[in-house]
Structures are given as C-alpha cells and as structure tokens.
Chains A and B, each alone.
Chain A
C-alpha cells in the first residue's frame, strides 16, 4: 500500500511546493506504514527527478507522453487514477493549486475517495481518519472525517515545512494507457504579457491598497516585487479604480493566496481583504495608521507614510542584495 503524491513540474523543473508535497507525503507514509511514491507527468530530467529522493520518496513513476504535453484534466485524471490503483494507493496527495484543484475532485469521484482540500497539517487521527482544514476563509478550522478507504488530500502551499530525508529512490519510466481518451481541451494561444509570476503560485507577494494614493506611486511596489522575485497584488478598491489590473485583486471576492511572505502596503486590513491573504505565512504591513486592523494580522509592521518608507525599503534591500 502506498501514499501517492502528484509532483507537478513547471517547464521540467520542480518548485519548493513539490518538495513540500514530497515531505508531507513521506511523513504521512511513515505514520501509515506505507510507501511514499511520487508520480510525475511530462518531460523532467533525471537530475531533477532525483531531487525528490532528498525528501523521502522511495519510488518515482515518471510518465512522458506526447499526448500529455498539454494539461488536460480528464486525461491527467485517468493517468493518475490508473497509477493509484496499480500502486494500491490509499492516500493521494496533491497541491492545493490550480492543477491540484482541477484533479483532486475528479480523482475523488473516479476512485470514490473523500477529499480534504487546502490542508496545512498532518492528520489528527488515523482511524477514524480526521484531518484539520481551514474554513470560512481562515476564520476557523474544521476537523473533517474522511470516511472512505482511499483518501485525497490537497496541501496548501507554504504550510508544511520541508523535511530533508535522503532515500534510495527508484525511477520507473511508465507508459500511460490513453486508449480511447483523447484530450478534449486544446490550448489555442498563450499570451505572455506581464512576465510576472502567477499570483496564486508566488512565494512572495507585494500588495498595495488605497493608501498608495495614486497609480503613479506603484513604481516601488513593482521594484520590491522584482527584487524579491515576487508577484504584485492589490486590494479591491485599487482594482475597482482601475489603478491596477483586476487579476491582481486579492480577498474574499478576488484571489485567495497563501504566499510565504505578503507585504500589505497602504491596506487597512478589512475582513474581506484578510479572507484572501490570511493564510500567508508572514505578513508585513506598512500603514500610517497605527490602529489599522492589518497590524493585528501582521508579524512585522512599519507605521509610516508608505510613499516615504517604501523607497527607503527598496534601497535597503538593493544594498542587502548586492552585499
């Protein structure tokens, strides 16, 4: 029996998230006395695959197939479900990101496996199987019982620390049986405009609110994000005003994100805004009102005028980076 983790790749490379998933799956496998196995779909070099051995994975099933070049939920579901059956997977672990959110529910129906999504910790109890997940946009945790023999967990990014645990890993190149299921979706066009990271996947996010006063003041926000290899975001009024594109709006009615580090600059910290960002591991707030609610959510705060503080911060970071 095994714990099967789907380790997505980005143009043939793994990200920190992949290692978080591997760490989580290995710990879970240990608890359950099962084998931690990973499945990778797409063209990934051997060296890259080997990296997962550092996080306790015992077997890597690598599938390369031209028909799987494009991410299509139906074909990917079939491939992963077939492997899960072959490897007697009792637990499937995926990321709580776009790919995981598209695959986990489909796998659930196919394998009749209950799902806990957006989980940040190991199960509390194994039998019955009880695991905690965030609900009400982070305002509560729910203890969820998964009642099926096979279970699926999607792990929230940045919620589980990496556990280095070198293992002897075998890499098995496997074939996918795609008889009778051609992908029905096809990518017609890709527009790369921003060069920026996908907000929902970014490790670091720099976000500005109405306290930034004018779209002309966004320069240092862009710079800070650039220096940190992060993405930019904003509060809802900022995108409503057309200061920033709508894709950047985070919160209850916008994107829900969980970066490692979130800068809230000139953002008051309304509950609807926090609903989208409170799962961030660290929050830094810059606001000229020391009573702004954002400081209750933040670990680090600077009380001051953002238009003055921010350029200094950018300058200091530039220095620190070149040192």
Chain B
C-alpha cells in the first residue's frame, strides 16, 4: 500500500505578512518557507503507519505543485522520511489548477491513500483536497483526525458534536486532514538530511489547466476597536455588556 502526501509550502507562522506591487503580491523577501502545518502532520502519520509492519504501508511519497524554488521544502519532507517526491513544475495559481495537476500525478502513479491538509495556512482555501478527490472520482472524508490502516483495511475518524465517528472506506481515497492526525510533527534528523540528498524528486511537466479564480489585491483587515476594560470586582458589568451591547449571550 502506498501513500501520497500532498504538501504546500507556506510562510513560517511568525511571518509578518507584507504585500508589494500595489498590494497585488505577497512580499516574499525574508520569508522562511515551511511545510504547511497540517501536511507536516499528515506526513508524520503516513510515516508512523509505514513504521508499523502490520499496516501494510510500503511507501510514502510527497507531491508539490510549484516552481524550482520550492525544492528546499520538498527536500525537507524527504529528510523527515518520505521515500520520494514529485514536483509539478508550474506556479500554483489557484486551488482548481493545483488539484488538476495533482490529479495527473495520482493517475500516473499507484497510490492507495492520498492525504491533503484541511487548508493552506496562507490562502486558507480548504479546497485542493476535495477538488482532487472529485477530479479522480475517489471517495473523500474531510476533517479526519485519525487514520488507521491494518492489513490494508482503512478506518478514519472525524469529530462530531459530542464525540467522534469512525468511518470505513475503500482505497483509493482522499483523506483531508485536520489537527490530531499525529501529535507532534516529526522532525528531520541528521541522517535523514544526508539521505534526503540522494532521494529522487521527479519533475512532472504541468498539464494545461487554466485557473478559475484570481487574487486581485490584498488589504489589511479592519482594525478592531480598542478593548473595553472592566473592573475585575464587577463581573456583572461584563455580563450586562455581553447581553445588551454585544448581544451574544
């Protein structure tokens, strides 16, 4: 059984985002690129399954749609433990165009489980995983916080009101991953970093697909009004404000 983890690269979480070219583009100067947090957790879970002989998982690959400048991020995934990687050589333009490229990678390969993150922490799209599943006509479950594989049988779970539900599904499928799938992301050890240099990154030519949407410009969010401080000895006042001013309780 083979797992493909789709990874996107996003600015490091501490980045102060700035824009350039009349606020039409992200200013990438000084940005540290990292693997999207949920993709890092997916990769970790995939590797945990591979380490467990009873799962039947033999190989873990990663795929990224992006230009050559994204290769350090791919190398990081290889250093963490992925066996090999695919890079579709094109700029990522929108979720539809990215998912269409990933669909070609999946069709050309032999993957049983495809994992995507619930969202990219930069564009907050939440779209690529579901689109990929539909392009492939595979079943998908969104928001999974657990993935178990025993002898090729798959069970995922996701949170619902008051608890969680366990869902069985056949392979191949797309799992769209939420926090919880793995506890801590695995980090690359020195040995992994050395080995990653020799691992293959297959460069895939992009398919001619037009994006359906385009980001025109960015702007800062509306500033929040200043905080209204309430006397700690008078919590009644807070309740009154929440009831009558904010009208939220």
- A interface, CB within 8 angstroms of B: 10, 72-74, 77, 96, 98, 101-106, 108-110, 112-118, 130, 133-148, 154, 184-201, 203-204, 228, 246-247, 249, 252-256, 260-261, 271-272, 275, 281-282, 284-285, 295-304, 308-309, 312-313, 315-317, 320
| Complex contacts, A112 vs chain B, CB 8 Å | 212
Tell me the smallest distance from the CB of A312 to a CB of chain B, in Å.
Answer: 5
| Complex contacts, B212 vs chain A, CB 8 Å | 108, 112-115, 146-148
Nearest neighbor of B164 in chain A, beta-carbon distance: A191
Q: Is the CB of B232 closer than 8 A to any CB of chain A?
A: yes
Tell me the smallest distance from the CB of A310 to a CB of chain B, in Å.
Answer: 9
| Complex contacts, B248 vs chain A, CB 8 Å | 203-204, 260-261, 281-282
Nearest neighbor of A108 in chain B, beta-carbon distance: B131
Chain A proximity mask over B5-40: 1 for CB below 8 Å, otherwise 0: 000000101100101000000000000000001100
Nearest neighbor of A317 in chain B, beta-carbon distance: B239
The CA of A203 and the CA of B249, in the complex, are separated in Å by 10
B139 touches A184 (CB 8 A): yes
Given A188-B166, A275-B121, A300-B238, A295 contacting B214 (CB threshold 8 A): no
Please list 28 pairs of residues, one from A and one from B, whose beta carbons are closer than 8 Å in the complex, sorted by A's number: A72-B139, A74-B140, A96-B126, A101-B142, A101-B176, A108-B131, A114-B213, A117-B125, A135-B215, A136-B11, A137-B121, A145-B216, A147-B211, A185-B141, A188-B155, A188-B167, A192-B163, A197-B162, A199-B159, A204-B248, A272-B14, A275-B13, A296-B227, A299-B227, A300-B238, A300-B241, A302-B231, A312-B235
| Complex contacts, B160 vs chain A, CB 8 Å | 190, 198
B166 touches A252 (CB 8 A): no
| Complex contacts, B215 vs chain A, CB 8 Å | 135, 142-145
Q: How many residues of B contact A (CB 8 A)?
A: 84
The CA of A118 and the CA of B19, in the complex, are separated in Å by 21
B127 touches A299 (CB 8 A): no
Given A135-B122, A142-B218, A109 contacting B14 (CB threshold 8 A): no
- B interface, CB within 8 angstroms of A: 11, 13-14, 17, 19, 37-38, 94-96, 99, 118-119, 121-131, 133-135, 137, 139-143, 145, 155, 158-170, 173, 176, 178-180, 183, 211-221, 224-225, 227-233, 235-236, 238-239, 241-243, 246, 248-249
B143 touches A101 (CB 8 A): yes
Given A188-B155, A261-B242, A300-B242, A109 contacting B96 (CB threshold 8 A): yes
| Complex contacts, A285 vs chain B, CB 8 Å | 227
| Complex contacts, A194 vs chain B, CB 8 Å | 162-163
Tell me the smallest distance from the CB of A9 to a CB of chain B, in Å.
Answer: 13
| Complex contacts, A191 vs chain B, CB 8 Å | 163-166
B213 touches A144 (CB 8 A): yes
| Complex contacts, A246 vs chain B, CB 8 Å | 179-180, 183
A320 touches B145 (CB 8 A): no
